[in-house]
Structure 1
């Protein structure tokens, strides 16, 4: 057993995203959790293998590729591996306020959800949470996960105001344009505009063809390009354009333009030098 435990691997962190108390990734081999409770909702996807667990003294099983588990706060549960290879999981511990307490009983009765849409949303949120600097994207993805869970557990979407999508999208765009460098959280935007999060995001995408976090990143890349053309160093440009650091700038700049900021500056200088040389040659 000590040898099997030594093969287990875990990664855990607390992101700066409202509603997410902890992110936990693990590959467990030969491990068994004793009965315990959390004061959070436990939202887990199994990536590989099989896990057996008891929730409120009733046993369940979940396998990789399709299974999503939702364990409510305050309810006793355990967990253990089933096969010698163990299992790999990714867990989001969500603040109790993310879902209404009235749904605890429903979650206890059916904790394993076979829902490809939900699982895909959770997977994409984990990817976003791997980059602390992209909190707006993570908040947006969490909002849609919450919405899907409400559909599955309560068979109803949250009520949203009947505000026009175009008007709401334009107001959000004005906010984002005014805060390209400073940025803003989804919670702040919804508070200012008095809008439901998923309604706000859908309205923006319907109007402009892309979600607000993608729009903001694109505006930041455009600002970075202009600053780089002025001869500014990438390290300076990152902060002034609203990126977390130079690595954050480089990741998004490369994804948008297919070239790093440093190579972009070099190519611009080379092109400028060629133009000067060409002009000199023509004059001779």
Structure 2
């Protein structure tokens, strides 16, 4: 029997999210990275297996519950730490959320054991994998960056101001005005003069729902009315602000329990 060939699966793309240079998903069984550098921050989680790597002449590893943050311009390598290789998801981030002043702390402590952070990074990858969910991705990235700052500079972390009802109401009004066209988190933060992470917390604290969930709920409500008017799902997706019909279907099914195509019933079906 011929020996099994090393397995390599790679997927990479650049999302429309400020601060994210690249999203990189990979499954390697035998491939080992030589020493190299990046000009961006590397935010890494491993879903299967483990990676061992050297950073600044010190050996590190990536257990399943760890988030690794490798700073820019610092040489590192990487190789499988288990016989079946590893499956990883990586975000390459510019200095928008992580300034160069954090590089020294990241070199000293690149592997962060934080289950909540690990969960949030995974949720961010899920959002980035679906065009049209940019507000969710921006919100999650902002909260992740804030948590990374706390890990890397705990002494410099200051308590955030308490969530404000006025701030939350102002954001809700913005979202109501732009249900179809949407708004980026950075633009909303500039308009209301608040830090993006604080804005997300204020809204969630006031209404018990994240800004992106509120916006999608409003869009799905509009879609329901149009579907009941007999308009086709593809057209409804376009006029209600969804990226495409599959984007509408995913959120519609999540909130309503059925797909848009199965939602409207004619009068005969209702009476039957």
- Normalising by the smaller structure, the TM-score range is over 0.9
Residues 207 and 28 from structure 1, CA distance in 2 versus in 1: closer, same or farther, beyond 3 angstroms? same
Alpha-carbon deviation of 1:157?
3.6
| In 2: Cα distance, 1:73 partner to 1:224 partner | 44
Aligned partner of residue 31 in structure 1, secondary structure? coil
Check conservation: 2:223, 2:237, Cα contact below 8 A: yes
Query: Between Structure 1 and Structure 2, which shows a larger proportion of helix residues?
Result: 1
**Which runs of structure 2 are paired with 1:14-163 in the superposition (5 Å)?**
14-63=14-63, 65-155=64-154, 156-157=156-157, 162=161
Alpha-carbon deviation of 1:19?
0.9
Check conservation: 1:5, 1:29, Cα contact below 8 A: no
Aligned partner of residue 127 in structure 1, secondary structure? helix
1:262 paired with 2:257, answer: no
Aligned partner of residue 79 in structure 2, secondary structure? strand
Check conservation: 2:54, 2:78, Cα contact below 8 A: yes
Check conservation: 1:4, 1:30, Cα contact below 8 A: no
Alpha-carbon deviation of 1:255?
1.0
Alpha-carbon displacement from aligned partner over 1:220-256 (angstroms, at most 9, x marks no partner): 0001111112221111111111111111111111111
Check conservation: 2:41, 2:72, Cα contact below 8 A: yes
Check conservation: 1:150, 1:158, Cα contact below 8 A: no
| In 2: Cα distance, 1:208 partner to 1:61 partner | 40
Alpha-carbon displacement from aligned partner over 1:259-283 (angstroms, at most 9, x marks no partner): 1111112x2x1xx1257x79xxxxx
1:7 paired with 2:1, answer: no
Check conservation: 2:162, 2:202, Cα contact below 8 A: no
Residues 164 and 203 from structure 1, CA distance in 2 versus in 1: closer, same or farther, beyond 3 angstroms? closer
The aligned counterpart of 1:226 is 225
Residues 107 and 222 from structure 1, CA distance in 2 versus in 1: closer, same or farther, beyond 3 angstroms? same
Greater displacement, 4-13 / 143-152: 4-13
Alpha-carbon deviation of 1:136?
0.2
| In 2: Cα distance, 1:67 partner to 1:19 partner | 22
Unaligned runs of 5+ in 2: none
Aligned partner of residue 30 in structure 2, secondary structure? coil
**Count of aligned residue pairs for this structure pair:** 269
Check conservation: 2:163, 2:201, Cα contact below 8 A: no
| In 2: Cα distance, 1:248 partner to 1:226 partner | 17
The aligned counterpart of 1:199 is 198
Alpha-carbon deviation of 1:83?
2.4
Q: Which runs of 4+ in 1 moved over 3 A?
A: 3-6, 156-160
Unaligned runs of 5+ in 1: 279-284
Residues 274 and 59 from structure 1, CA distance in 2 versus in 1: closer, same or farther, beyond 3 angstroms? closer
| In 2: Cα distance, 1:18 partner to 1:159 partner | 25
Alpha-carbon displacement from aligned partner over 1:65-115 (angstroms, at most 9, x marks no partner): 212111000111111112221111111101133212111111111111111
| In 1: Cα distance, 2:219 partner to 2:253 partner | 13
The Cα RMSD (Å) is 1.8
Greater displacement, 136-145 / 22-31: 22-31
- The higher radius of gyration belongs to 1
